[in-house]
Structure 1
C-alpha cells in the first residue's frame, strides 16, 4: 500500500517515553502553561487532539515550547494530517484505521498510530507496513485482557492503549511487553484547564511518570 514510502515508527519520536498525555485544549491561551506543567512533571511527549477550534494553534504553541515532542490526535483526514504537520506535529494519531490518513503520513515521512479495536483492523494496519497501533477505546473494549488477546497472534506488534485508562491501571499496562506507551486523558482534562489547575496537572504527570519508570 505504501510502496516507496516507508513509515517511520513512533518509537523514534517517543524516545522512550512511556506515558503520553492526551489533551483536549479548549483555548490556545492554555497551551503554554500546560506545556510548562507537563514538562515540570517529567512528560516528554503529548498528543493534542483535533477536537476543539483552537487545536492547531494550541499544538503549534506547545510544539514551540521545545520541551515536548508533540503529536496530533483525532486526525481523521489527509487534510488534517497536512495541517497538523504544518503546525509542528511530530506524529499523528487516529481513533481508527484509515488508509488515506496512513498513506499521507507515509508520504510526509511522519509516524502514524492508528486506532484498532479488532484483529481485522490490526491486520490491515500491519499490511500497511505499521508495527505500532493504538488500542482504542482500551478500557471499554476489555482493557488488558483484550490487549493480550489481540497481541498473541501478532508477535512484534506494539500497542499504545488509550481510552478510559486511569492512574490505577498504568502499572499493569506498562508491565505487558507488547505495550510501548500508555495514552491518558486523566493527566490534564478540560476541567483542569478550565480551572487553571496546572499544579494538579504537574502532580498527576509526575505521579504517572514515576510509575512508568519504577
Structure 2
C-alpha cells in the first residue's frame, strides 16, 4: 500500500470516464502514449473491469478504479487488478474492502468534517471534490491548515495549467477529468490534442 501511495504522491491522475469501452480503451492508449503511467478507470465505463485487467497487465502502469460506491464493486475492482480505489463520497464498506486487500482507498469529501471522518475511517487519502467549485487551491490550503495530517487529492474542474498551483497549495495528488479530455473530444477522436496535453502533464518534450 505504501508503495502505491508513494507513486501517487505529487502526480496528476487522469480520470478515464467514457461512454463506451472502445472510447475508454482509445483514451487510455492516448494518455499512455503521452507518457502518463497512472490511470483511474471509472466504473461508469461499460466493461470497466476488463479494461482495468488489460491495463494492469502492463508493469509500467499503476491502474485504479474510480466511482466505487459499494463493497461488491470494490471487490470486483480489486479482483480485476486495481491498485487503488477512488469514490466521490465516503463509503465505509469500500474502505473495509480496501483494508482487507491492502489496496488504498481515496473517498470523496467536500467539508472539513467529511475529510476528517474519511481519514478516521481509514482512508489512505481523501479526494476533495468538486475542487474548483469548492474554492480551488485557496480552499485546499485552508483545509490543509487545520488538517495537515490528511493527504488530499483535489479533483473536479481542474485545468492542466492549475496543477502546479494545487500541488503548491499542498495537494497530495490531483485528479484530472474532462479538462484533460472532454467527452466531445473523445467522441471526435481528437487523438493528437489529447496526446499533446498528456505530454505536457507528464513533463515530456516529445511523444
Question: Which TM-score applies when normalising by structure 1?
Answer: 0.85
Aligned counterpart, 1:34: 27
Paired residue total? 203
| Aligned counterpart, 1:46 | 39
Cα distance in 2 for partners of 1:37, 1:59 equals 16
Q: Which has the higher contact order (CA 8 A, sep 6+)?
A: 1
CA distance in 2 between partners of 1:89 and 1:42 (Å): 20
Distance 1:32 1:117 in 2: 31
| 1: CA distance, partners of 2:60 / 2:2 | 22
Identify the match of residue 12 of structure 2 among 1, 10, 19. Answer: 19
Q: Which residue of structure 1 aligns with residue 172 of structure 2?
A: 180
C-alpha deviation, 1:125, in angstroms: 1.7
Q: 1:10 to 1:125 in 2, by over 3 A?
A: farther
Residue from 133, 144, 148 that aligns with 2:141? 148
The gaps in structure 1 that reach 5 residues or longer are 1-6
Distance 1:10 1:97 in 2: 20
Note the C-alpha offset of 1:197.
2.1
Partners of 1:22 and 1:48 within 8 A in 2? yes
Residues 149-170 of structure 1, C-alpha deviations (whole Å, 9 max, x = no match): 1111112222110001112322
List runs of 5+ in structure 2 lacking aligned partners: none
**C-alpha distance 9-79 of structure 1, shift in aligned 2 (>3 A):** farther
More displaced stretch, 100-109 vs 29-38: 29-38
Question: So what's the TM-score if we normalise by structure 2?
Answer: 0.88
